Amino acid sequence: MTTTAKTPTQVILKDSLISLLLYVLPISLMFLWFYISGSRPWETIRTEHLSFRAPALLEAVFNNLKTWGLPAIMLVVGIVEFSVGLYENRWTKNERILDIVCFILPKIVLRPLIAYFGLQLLPLVLPNAKDAFVWVPFWWAFAIMAVADDLTQYWYHRLHHQLPLLWRFHRTHHSAPYMGMAMASRQNIIYTMFFSQIYLTVALTYLGLGYAALFVGGIKSLITTAAHSSIKWDKPFYTIRWLNPVAWVMERVISTPATHHAHHADTTDDGIGNYKGNFGNMFFIWDLIFGTGIITRQYPAAYGLKHYKEEEWYAQLLWPIFKSKKAGSELAKNGPEVGDELPVEAPVAPPYAFWEKEENRTPVAVK
């Protein structure tokens, strides 16, 4: 008996319904816990505080991630990357300016502006909602925030690969022929403007879940930075036998260099690259649930886009406000709509698409 293959639209609809259940899951579990334990925290007036005491240094880093914490961490990682030559000679002047501007601009201009206007607007739109959920225990707030934030960004990321209309706003993130911690923030400014994390953090802070938003944002920043880094810190977990069980769990829960580097590969032909999948940002588990991920514990030989024309940094940052002068570029005026795969002259077998089952690909061993 044969089954009719589902269309991309049908797959997206099915996965969207599953996502709705995932969004509701931590909230449902929280109220189930309240029912079982007989607790009614919403009846208690309380101020937002941590339910535990973190080490002083750790707490200081987390409390200041949006100012000096994360930049300090990235500076240390960057020094290590450069000291061992992991960028080689591919970090040209154009790439360097783009990476630096993409790292600085959102932090000193975009996010502060969104936070300021958001906190001015929310009291007008929801005047009675300030601190409405301050009663939610920290760890439940953390779980709710983590799912809401990262699952939303998974879909935001995935749709920018699957819809040609959106691809050019995300193309900047994939154009570099190298991997490094700077890649975590290398994005077109319009793509960055609609990051769910910025708006969720502002809204949930207003609603009384600021500490949970702070910790989720901090942990997510650390994981995504580490996953983009050219330092293959996850490799010992695969090569040291007694660490293998930890690796098995880790690579299925969070993004690692092996799984996320695959997303930045310039080809899928080697069975390692998977730029049509491995969309997870903080959590890789979304890719497992929706069938968009592969795990190989290997790293691509090359990164970026095969049709990259090294467009001017300002065009990559501000397209379509500023266009590239490079002939034939997607970012040029009236440029072709290339998409996230290399155009070919002669007919070839169709590339692996996100809706194909993994068994239809060349088998790759998952150790």
Q: What digits encode the pLDDT tens for the residues 92-116?
A: 889 889 988 888 888 778 877 887 7
Tokens 């990262």 belong to 150
Q: SS3 of 332, please?
A: strand
Q: SS3 of 83, please?
A: helix
Summarize pLDDT for 205-217 with one digit per residue, the tens: 888 887 888 888 8
User: What whole-number distance in Å separates Cα of residue 241 and Cα of residue 272?
Assistant: 22
The answer for residues whose C-beta is within 8 angstroms of residue 93's C-beta and 6 or more apart is none
Lowest mean pLDDT among 2-16, 25-39, 127-141, 244-258: 2-16
With contact defined as beta carbons under 8 Å apart, do 284 and 249 qualify? no
C-beta contacts of 166-174 below 8 A and 24+ residues apart: 167/337, 167/339, 167/340, 168/319, 168/320, 168/330, 168/331, 168/337, 169/319, 171/305, 171/316, 171/330, 171/331, 171/340, 172/98, 172/102, 172/316, 172/317, 172/319, 174/264, 174/275, 174/304, 174/305, 174/340
User: What whole-number distance in Å separates Cα of residue 141 and Cα of residue 30?
Assistant: 9
**Mean pLDDT for all residues in the chain:** 81
Higher pLDDT, 77 or 279: 279
Question: Does residue 328 carry a pLDDT above 90?
Answer: no
User: What whole-number distance in Å separates Cα of residue 169 and Cα of residue 92?
Assistant: 22
With contact defined as beta carbons under 8 Å apart, do 177 and 90 qualify? yes
Cα–Cα distance list, 284 to 41, 44, 225 (Å): 32, 37, 14
Q: SS3 of 135, please?
A: coil
Higher pLDDT, 349 or 248: 248
The token pair at 234 is 């996850």
Under the banding of pLDDT at 50, 70 and 90, the label for residue 4 is low
Under the banding of pLDDT at 50, 70 and 90, the label for residue 349 is very low
- How large is the average pLDDT for residues 162-189? 89
Q: SS3 of 103, please?
A: helix
Question: Does residue 185 carry a pLDDT above 90?
Answer: no
